[in-house]
Amino acid sequence: MQIFKVGGAVRDRLLGIPVTDVDRVVVGATTEEMLAQGFRPVGADFPVFLHPKTGEEYALARTERKSGRGYGGFTFHASPGVTLEEDLIRRDLTINAMAEDDQQNLTDPYHGQRDLEARILRHVSPAFAEDPLRVLRVARFAARYASLGFTVAPETLKLMRQLSESGELQALTAERSWKEISRALMEDQPQVFIQVLRDCGALKELMPEVDALFGVPQPEVHHPEIDTGLHTLSVLEQSALHKQPLTVRWACLLHDLGKGLTPEEEWPRHIAHEHTGLKLIKAVNERFKAPKDCQELALLVGKYHTHCHRALELKASTLLELLQSFDVYRRPQRFEEFIGACEMDARGRKGLEQRSYPQADYLRGAAQAAREVAVQPLLEKGFKGPELGEALKRERLKALKAYKDKASA
């Protein structure tokens, strides 16, 4: 029995960056031998075991064969006769197909170290094209390592394009797709993930609503970058620079989908795109079964982001309606994330990345003014039920009018 560290642990050590996940492969062992040593089996698809003391994962060396469509369409074979090289060749990228023993002796049959040094993301073998999930994985790695200068090898991009055109991407489950998308959006350069998907034709298959934004112009006076797709990439980039959470990044990706529906004869104006985009945002949310908080924020940002940009001009009654829509009294964090997404939208414009965004603090102040309206005095006056709600609304409106007057003084 021989045990090797494989994949990301080897890759990241060689890159000199922190190792977070350690995967191990066991060569020359049987399931019975692993169980006899106290390892606990997990996973139904292939033999993976948890170490009896550390709880870390150990997988038996295995080969795989394509047997159906999609990510799960594979037959696995694990036996003591499977070599380390046979196990490594089934992996996606050469930089993930290296192994090392406890003395850090490197096994690198597919030249992963050479590609690390050349900053290339290259597939290990033609079998890469058998697994549609790898399109998303490579795009995610491109986003993760873009700051180090990594790019996708042309021949790998070609295989990704073939996969995109084959219809195999449609066989991916929502859960597997969301896992890759959400991880990619939390990388340092999530806009690279979207760009690589577009470069290989996968964006058109997975998110045609986002793909449709490229080539759609916006008024240059507000959007010096003009192209709506490029603007979306810039907004995503800003969301990462400002360390925004996943909910905000997802909303940033989807906020302008309505502009993809504007008839060409109306370009570059996009009247009511906030409302026309809601059905598209809802469709993308449902397609990937995004978590509820991501879905809700994406819809709210899509509907109200121009309200945020025009916050200083809004009437007190419109401000109150906005605050009520977000339930700022019980869910203040959601409103804060909305403000964050809108600020990223404002900063995601060519040459305007550093411009101040006073709307953010103005809306925070408005929310605070509305929250400070006390319920107790109204209860003491005998208001209850629907009447209490109306009285509270009137008092909050008064507070917002006073806030506006003070802010504009």
Cα dihedral 46, 96, 290, 203 sign: negative
- The one-letter code for the residue type at 21 is D
From 95, 85, 100, 110, select the one nearest 144 (Cα to Cα).
95
Residue 238 domain flag: no
For residue 29, the tally of other CB atoms under 10 A from its CB is 22
How far apart CA 342 and CA 337 sit, in angstroms, is: 9
Provide the β-strand partners of residue 6. 23, 99
The CATH number of residue 20's host domain is 3.30.460.10
Shared-domain flag, residues 259 and 345: yes
How far apart CA 147 and CA 163 sit, in angstroms, is: 26
Residue 365 domain flag: no
In residues, how long is the chain? 409
- The pTM of the full predicted model, rounded to 2 decimals, is 0.92
Shared-domain flag, residues 107 and 195: no
pLDDT, tens digit only, all 409 positions of the chain:
899 999 999 999 999 999 988 899 999 999 899 999 999 988 666 689 999 998 888 999 988 765 455 445 446 677 888 999 999 999 999 999 999 999 999 999 999 999 999 999 999 999 898 899 999 999 999 999 999 999 999 999 999 999 999 999 999 999 999 999 999 999 999 999 999 999 999 999 999 999 999 999 999 999 999 999 999 999 999 999 999 999 999 999 999 999 999 999 999 999 999 999 999 999 999 999 999 999 999 999 999 999 999 999 999 999 999 999 999 999 999 999 999 999 999 999 999 999 999 999 999 999 999 999 999 999 989 988 999 999 999 999 999 999 999 998 7
Q: Are strands 57-60 and 23-27 parallel, antiparallel or unpaired?
A: parallel
Residue 227 domain flag: no
DSSP code string of 104-171: --EE-TT-HHHHHHHTEE-BSSGGGGG-THHHHHHHHHHHHHGGGT-EE-HHHHHHHHHHHHHTGGGG
Q: Please, which residues have CB within 8 angstroms of residue 270's CB and are 6 or more apart in sequence?
A: 218, 258, 259, 262
CB hemisphere CA count around 129 (13 angstroms): 16
- The one-letter code for the residue type at 99 is A
According to DSSP, residue 315 is labeled -
For residue 135, the tally of other CB atoms under 10 A from its CB is 30
Residue 237 domain flag: no
Q: What is the pLDDT of residue 67?
A: 47
Q: Evaluate whether 67 touches 77 at the Cβ level (below 8 Å).
A: no
Shared-domain flag, residues 107 and 128: no
From 307, 201, 290, 303, select the one nearest 247 (Cα to Cα).
290
The CATH number of residue 135's host domain is 1.10.110.30
Shared-domain flag, residues 327 and 395: no
Cα dihedral 39, 43, 45, 51 sign: negative
Q: Evaluate whether 62 touches 113 at the Cβ level (below 8 Å).
A: no
Q: What is the pLDDT of residue 55?
A: 87
Provide the β-strand partners of residue 233. none
Sheet holding 106-107, edge to edge: 40-42, 48-50, 57-60, 23-27, 2-6, 99-100, 106-107
How far apart CA 197 and CA 180 sit, in angstroms, is: 12
Shared-domain flag, residues 344 and 400: no
According to DSSP, residue 93 is labeled B
| Residue labelled with tokens 């609304």 | 393
5 to 8, 39, 107, 247, 336: CA distances (angstroms): 9, 17, 10, 34, 43
Q: How many domains does the chain have?
A: 4
- The one-letter code for the residue type at 204 is K
Shared-domain flag, residues 77 and 5: yes
Q: Can you give the C-alpha Rg of the chain in angstroms?
A: 26
Shared-domain flag, residues 312 and 322: yes
Residue 363 domain flag: no
Element (H, E) at 307: helix 292-309
Residue 229 domain flag: no
Shared-domain flag, residues 168 and 148: yes
Shared-domain flag, residues 112 and 139: no
According to DSSP, residue 7 is labeled T
Shared-domain flag, residues 352 and 260: yes
Shared-domain flag, residues 136 and 39: no
Q: Evaluate whether 144 touches 17 at the Cβ level (below 8 Å).
A: no
Q: What is the pLDDT of residue 69?
A: 53
For residue 108, the tally of other CB atoms under 10 A from its CB is 19
Structural domain containing residue 345:
243-357
Q: Please, which residues have CB within 8 angstroms of residue 120's CB and are 6 or more apart in sequence?
A: 150, 151, 152, 153
Residue 368 domain flag: no
- The one-letter code for the residue type at 244 is Q
41 SS3 class: strand
Shared-domain flag, residues 89 and 24: yes
Q: What is the pLDDT of residue 173?
A: 95
